[in-house]
């Protein structure tokens, strides 16, 4: 089978999964350090999607490291089918949660000016978290 860039068991695949993990962890930390995120379901679902993405990416990064270290081939039909299916499910969940959180952040910042009225809301951290979630999804 032909080796594709960023496929399982390659150095680029491991780098992709580690960068996904770093962006997901940074976005989660940015969201959790803000006050009041759990009061809104869009932010809560984005945080849940980010944790799921973090666990999935770390698991695949460990699998890539194991395959590279022991010179194992991860390009079996069953292995690739599971990875592709779970990747699609996690990507759809990440995109929908990031879009919902982005719309809520825009609503708070621009439409009703909650950020100006309630200074305890960490709107800049919410914005940073949404941007990092979209970067995670793009990776």
The per-residue pLDDT for range 124-134, each reduced to its tens digit, is 888 888 999 99
pLDDT given at position 96: 95
End-to-end CA distance of the chain: 24
Count of domains observed in the chain: 1
Give a yes or no: residue 3 inside a domain: no
Which tens digit of pLDDT belongs to each residue from 72-121? 888 888 888 999 999 999 999 999 999 999 998 888 888 888 777 777 67
Quick count: other Cβ atoms within 10 Å of Cβ 25? Answer: 18
Residue-range definition of the domain harbouring residue 101? 11-138
The answer to whether the CB of 68 falls within 8 A of the CB of 11 is yes
Quick count: other Cβ atoms within 10 Å of Cβ 70? Answer: 7
pLDDT given at position 74: 80
**In the chain, how many H helices and how many E strands?**
5, 0
Name the residue with higher pLDDT: 28 or 3: 28
Q: The pTM is what?
A: 0.85
The answer to whether the CB of 139 falls within 8 A of the CB of 20 is yes
């Amino acid at each position: 089978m032909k080796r594709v860039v960023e496929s399982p068991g390659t150095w680029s695949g491991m780098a992709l999964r580690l960068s996904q993990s770093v962006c997901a962890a940074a976005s989660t930390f940015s969201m959790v350090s803000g006050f009041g995120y759990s009061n809104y379901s869009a932010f809560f679902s984005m945080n849940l999607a980010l944790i799921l993405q973090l666990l999935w990416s770390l698991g695949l990064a460990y699998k890539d490291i194991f395959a590279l270290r022991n010179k194992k081939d991860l390009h079996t039909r069953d292995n690739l089918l599971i990875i592709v299916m779970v990747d699609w499910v996690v990507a759809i969940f990440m995109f929908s949660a990031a879009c919902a959180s982005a719309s809520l952040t825009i609503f708070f910042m621009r439409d009703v000016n909650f950020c100006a009225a309630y200074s305890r809301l960490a709107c800049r951290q919410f914005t940073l978290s949404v941007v990092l979630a979209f970067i995670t999804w793009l990776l």
